[in-house]
Amino acid sequence: MAGSNQSLSHSLRRIMNNDADDEPPTRPSPSHQPSPAPRTPSPAGSASSTSTVNSEREDEFFRTVHGRRLNSMNMSYMLPADKSEIERLELEHRMIKFVLGGKNYIGPVAEVLAPRNGERRVLDCGTGSGLWAIEMADEFEGVQVIGADLAPLQPREVPPNCTFELFDLDGQRLPYPDDWFDVVHARSVYMGIRQYQRFLHEIARVLRPGGVIILAEVDSAPMVEGKRPILPGPRGGAPGWHMFWDTYRRALTSRDIDITIPTRLRTCLRECAAFENIVAKEALIPIGFWPRDNLTLTIGQLAWMSHDNFLLALRPMFRSSGLSEAMVKKIIEDAQHDLYEPPVRLSCCWHILHAQKAARPRK
């Protein structure tokens, strides 16, 4: 048993790296006085509970684009909002949980959510399948967990301390008072946030001093083991894979999404001037069946399955970017070829950060 624990932590150390100039984590500041008035549910258009969503109202929340169901609230977010996408999100959720050693968070979350006078609250931005919010609500029973999203993809049966709300996080004031949440989590959402810096400012506003922000985004640059970039063309070793990611990056850029966000999260947090104790980690995740040890292999398999699904999920965005049906088919098939018969050890890099809201704005 001790042996397997040792190899588990060894594998995790190999996957998760601290950035070179990390600031050391410190203990959170003492708890704040809860002050804001209770939040009134916002009207449709800014926020509404999924409890009001039923099958007759499907058309209000979804539209069909090139054969897949998408959200109808934000036209630039073009990943599907359907069963297959939920399955992909569940795979990715499990994968990240393995990477985080079986946990849903990094940073002083447990300390910040420890019982005290007053309500404790967590916000999951772009909650997707809602799994993260549900598991957090299960783990922290006395804490109110809210998952916000563009689409009602989340299950109806949820823990009593978990709710879901629908609103657009991009370019808007979040519908919560200042200093309202103890923890805010935003994982894999930058593809739907054109004004990412404004989004961070809003998170800083609704987070209480000492509260924890957790960000996680995957790099869109194709790479192989050891974080080496895949170069274009046959000499790069995976031309189909490279072309797919190149097309993805172009499509996001044409929708005014800043594709450099995942690699610049630390800078974005610093520029916000509201956070301290910023800790940035990189998780180098294998995609496929090439890792040797069991844990990394499990992560690689989950990443492989998630990517297998992701290749098809991009069809609506690629088609809407003006690419012909034949062209999109070829791009996806060539990428599938490199995924199914990998000529190189495909990998990806997740950037995972946590920080705390400073008591006063930082200079």
Ligand X SMILES: C[S@@+](CC[C@H](N)C(=O)[O-])C[C@H]1O[C@@H](n2cnc3c(N)ncnc32)[C@H](O)[C@@H]1O
**Beta carbon nearer to ligand X, 170 or 202:** 170
Q: Is 101 left (phi over 0), alpha (psi -120 to 50) or beta?
A: left
Q: Tell me the window of 32-40, 144-152, 245-253, 287-295 that interacts with ligand X (CB under 6 A).
A: 144-152
Given 15, 150, 261, 311, the residue binding ligand X (CB under 6 A): 150
Nearest-CB residue to ligand X? 192
* Helix/strand/coil for 296: helix
Residue 220 lies near ligand X (rule: CB under 6 A): no
Query: Are 274 and 363 in contact, with CB atoms under 8 Å apart?
Result: no
**Beta carbon nearer to ligand X, 195 or 336:** 195
Residues 6+ apart with CB under 8 A from 234: none
Least CB distance from residue 191 to ligand X, whole Å? 6
Q: Which of residues 51-80 bind ligand X (CB under 6 A)?
A: 71, 74, 77, 79
**Beta carbon nearer to ligand X, 194 or 345:** 194
Query: Are 240 and 232 in contact, with CB atoms under 8 Å apart?
Result: no
Whole-angstrom distance, CA of residue 268 vs CA of residue 265? 5
Least CB distance from residue 293 to ligand X, whole Å? 25
- Containing H/E element for 299? helix 294-313
**Beta carbon nearer to ligand X, 89 or 203:** 89
Dihedral (CA of 350, 254, 166, 181) sign? positive
Residue 149 lies near ligand X (rule: CB under 6 A): yes
Residue 151 lies near ligand X (rule: CB under 6 A): yes
Residue 82 lies near ligand X (rule: CB under 6 A): no
Residues 6+ apart with CB under 8 A from 155: 130, 134
b or e along 94-103 (b: 16 or more beta carbons within 10 Å of the residue's beta carbon)?
Answer: bbbbbbbeee
Q: Tell me the window of 5-13, 22-30, 149-157, 259-267 that interacts with ligand X (CB under 6 A).
A: 149-157
How many residues would you count in the chain? Answer: 363
Whole-angstrom distance, CA of residue 224 vs CA of residue 346? 4
Total residues interacting with ligand X, rule: CB under 6 A: 26
Residue 89 lies near ligand X (rule: CB under 6 A): yes
Given 135, 165, 168, 276, the residue binding ligand X (CB under 6 A): 168
Given 106, 137, 193, 317, the residue binding ligand X (CB under 6 A): 193
- Tell me the backbone φ, ψ of residue 339, rounded to 5 degrees: -80, -40
Least CB distance from residue 100 to ligand X, whole Å? 12
Given 104, 161, 188, 296, the residue binding ligand X (CB under 6 A): 188
For residue 90, the tally of other CB atoms under 10 A from its CB is: 15
Residue 286 lies near ligand X (rule: CB under 6 A): no
Residue 128 lies near ligand X (rule: CB under 6 A): yes
Given 189, 257, 261, 274, the residue binding ligand X (CB under 6 A): 189
Tell me the C-alpha to C-alpha distance, in Å, between residue 314 and each of 123, 209, 243, 294, 320: 27, 39, 13, 30, 10
Binding residues for ligand X, rule: CB under 6 A, are 71, 74, 77, 79, 81, 89, 92-93, 126-129, 132, 148-151, 153, 168-170, 187-189, 192-193
